[in-house]
Chains A and B, each alone.
Chain A
Amino acid sequence: GQNIDQPTEMTATEGAIVQINCTYQTSGFNGLFWYQQHAGEAPTFLSYNVLDGLEEKGRFSSFLSRSKGYSYLLLKELQMKDSASYLCAQLDSNYQLIWGAGTKLIIKP
């Protein structure tokens, strides 16, 4: 099967910047998604990358390098409400999503 790797947990300070990395297997790649999931809630869509480069959307940006099988989610001006798990998911050759285990982000005041 395909593996999606991302850190289990990260801690950052309110107002700071944090980068959450994700690596995936490059075979059968059709795009890379990032989702946010607050504790006890459903995942919600953040971003989608299919071409190399940086996509910016307000305080959140997502980067993709297809040749390296690498993506990151960049969160700026962190707020307490950003405390959540961030899920990386690869769209495979069958257009199904393969999910990473998620990165739990803890924001400290």
Chain B
Amino acid sequence: TAGITQAPTSQILAAGRSMTLRCTQDMRHNAMYWYRQDLGLGLRLIHYSNTAGTTGKGEVPDGYSVSRANTDDFPLTLASAVPSQTSVYFCASSAGGDRQTNEQFFGPGTRLTVL
């Protein structure tokens, strides 16, 4: 069972360039999330989607955009990367709805370096 996959595993990106981080889940989960994780800080929510066709802003949405055209895919786009976006990015999903089903499952992460 694949669960959640992310691509690429790592990337070095020049400042000012755009990039899309891909995330796909095969668990038919309604909710999906994008987090960034920086040393000494907790996971910070960038954007989320409670169901296909809807998205919402998290704690740190600036500089990022998402789309949720279908249940399985939730790509994260950086339109014009800046060095402060250097981080490890995790995609996660959950069944959503009531709290008993809100366990989140994480992808393996994408390590992004913006120079």
- Interface residues, chain A, CB within 8 Å of chain B? 1, 4, 30-31, 33, 41-45, 48, 50, 87, 89, 91, 95-102
Contact = CB atoms under 8 A, between A and B. Distances in A.
Given A30-B99, A31-B99, A50-B99, A4 B106 contact: no
B41 interface: yes
B45 interface: yes
Nearest to B43: A99
Interface in B23-37: 35
B42 A4 contact: yes
A98 B104 CA distance: 12
22 contacts: A4-B42, A31-B102, A42-B90, A42-B106, A42-B109, A43-B90, A44-B106, A48-B103, A87-B42, A89-B43, A95-B96, A95-B99, A95-B102, A96-B45, A96-B48, A97-B45, A97-B102, A100-B42, A101-B40, A101-B41, A101-B42, A102-B42
B108 A42 contact: yes
A101 B44 CA distance: 10
B102 A43 contact: no
A89 B104 CA distance: 11
A97 B106 contact: no
B43 A43 contact: yes
Interface in B76-91: 90
A48 B96 CA distance: 15
B59 interface: yes
Contact of A97 (B41, B104, B108): B104
Contacts of B58: 96
Interface in B85-115: 90, 96, 99, 102-109
Nearest to A88: B42
Contacts of B103: 33, 45, 48
Given A41-B108, A42-B109, A97-B43, 4 more contacts: A1-B59, A42-B106, A97-B45, A102-B42
